[in-house]
Structure 1
Amino acid sequence: MSPGAKSGPASPGAKSGPWRRRLHVVTGKGGTGKTTVASALALALATGGRRVLLAEVEGRQQIAQVFDTPPLPYRERKVASAPGGGEVYALAVDAEEALLEYLEMFYNLRSAGKVLGRIGAIDFATTIAPGVRDVLLTGKIKEAVNRPDGTRPSGMAYDAVVLDAPPTGRVTRFLNVANEVVGLAKMGPIRSQADGVLAVLHSGQTAVHLVTLLEEMPVQETVDAVAELRAADLPVGGVVVNMVRPPLLGPDDLLAARAGALDPDELAAGIKEAGVEPAADLVAELAREAAQHAERVALEAAQRVEVEALARPVYELPLAADGMDMGMLYRFAEMLRAQRMVG
């Protein structure tokens, strides 16, 4: 099976497609490859001469690892070129730097903020009020989405922003924390910042994409996350099924293998054609491996049904058997474009 786009029924308001949004939030259970998918999506969006910002907020420097660059500072740095003259910039958003920027922007207090940082006041503030930290992080993303640039044809600094977001178990709270701040701050710059974040995240500019594997736990987390995002009125984009492996046997052989009914003489003949003596224990071991493979294919098929029941566009990327490198990342970007995740 080759990777290909599949779609459930479109939800209301989805006719323009998640690829037309300006902010693409990418989440997924740990181990599903969400940073790789976010990076490939940024390259896909940049293809054709666009400028795209790829940002992360968890302080793990995953983007730098994917692009094989030094750790990202708190400033936007070009990390890749895309076909057609496009550019991908990257940013590791740091809560302390975002707070210093916030103090300078609204209070002209950057110097005082640095002093506060040295005595640990910033860490204290963001610990007792963790929602403030997330508003600062999402506020920086909102600023990048809305930043004007009169020198560019679009009038915007970036044509799109891709956020490598926290995992599915935390993403709804992270994206919706501004709602809590709005409830606490009735006026002032903090309230304005929270309102601005909500205006972007709950608008047609944004789509939250989910990355999963065809395994029970990642799929269940994806199903739960979609329900939570919808309950919070956050716009769900597409589902990217990552690390897809094609079946090694045809449909009839898969049924026979799963039932333990493969012809041992045919197995022995195949082993002999490979230049190996078809000993009885080798034939039996091959039959066991075929049965395990057939069981995995059946389980993946069941999980694919669960994914498609979410009624969101579904995109697939193959398992990179030889590991990820920049060449494979560009291939993934091409695949996402071919499947029309990006227009």
Structure 2
Amino acid sequence: MGGLGYFGIVIFGIFAYMASTEAQLQMNFYAKSCPKAEKIILDFINKHIHNAPSLAAPLIRMNFHDCFVRGCDASVLLNSTSSNQAEKVAPPNLTLRGFDFIDRIKSLLEAECPGVVSCADIIALAARDTVVAIGGPSWRVPTGRRDGTISRSSEALANIPPPTSNFTNLQRLFANQGLDLKDLVLLSGAHTIGVSHCSSFASRLYNFTGVLGTQDPALDSEYAANLKARKCRSLNDNVTIVEMDPGSFRTFDLSYYTLLLKRRGLFQSDAALTTNSNTLSLINQILKGSLQNFYTEFAKSMEKMIQNNVKTGSSGEIRKHCAVVNS
């Protein structure tokens, strides 16, 4: 009886090991099932990104927003239905761009290998490849993610750090994703590329305390005056866009961190990084190091984020169309 019990434990252990190894991401996951998959994505990006270099920022932002809700499962791509408001319509995602770009890549992959490559992997690979295409850092993207079938607006609102976040809120929301303060500072560095709508920070200029006319004292007064005069001329401007890293918003460099120390971070969440001694120290360390060192450290944090809480193995599905679950 004891021998049979031991044998059962051994067999169970083998099956548990098989399940855990099968359910892990791996480099070149599609090597046999769709060998051209990653090249198809890369070729499409290299063909089109030079006509739309500004797309790198929206795609890495899409990657963040996807991973912060239910893991990186492409739930951010799902459309709302008559009975459900999806992540897409949540306030943090209303300004997301690049959905059509992802759909076009998905169409090419479906033509090559129907039902094989997940939308979640397409987001992760496209974010990396577009950043590399504009001269930014590269990072390892192990694949094998599967697509989720649930997308709720309320969850996006609860989990994606808003631009009005203070330090405590940022620390909590990043910790929920298994990310620490170093990851917070490094991943915030993605704000070195891209633009923002005035609506994401106008309250800092016009209504900071809830009283019309009050301004965030943490924002450099000269920078604030310039924003008011030339860009966001009213609290209710939902149209005008502003460079998040003025002067080099298409270059993945260190100037974002330089601006933080000059109190010229555009969002409250940017300024919040300077309110904690640990994160302030990390900012100074980044600025004392080389650009290549920043790229190396940024890559580590990206790799950590895109592998957290993913669906693999038999979880989820491989969507035929990224905007809808399979019928």
- TM-score, normalisation: structure 1: 0.25
**Which protein shows a greater Rg?**
1
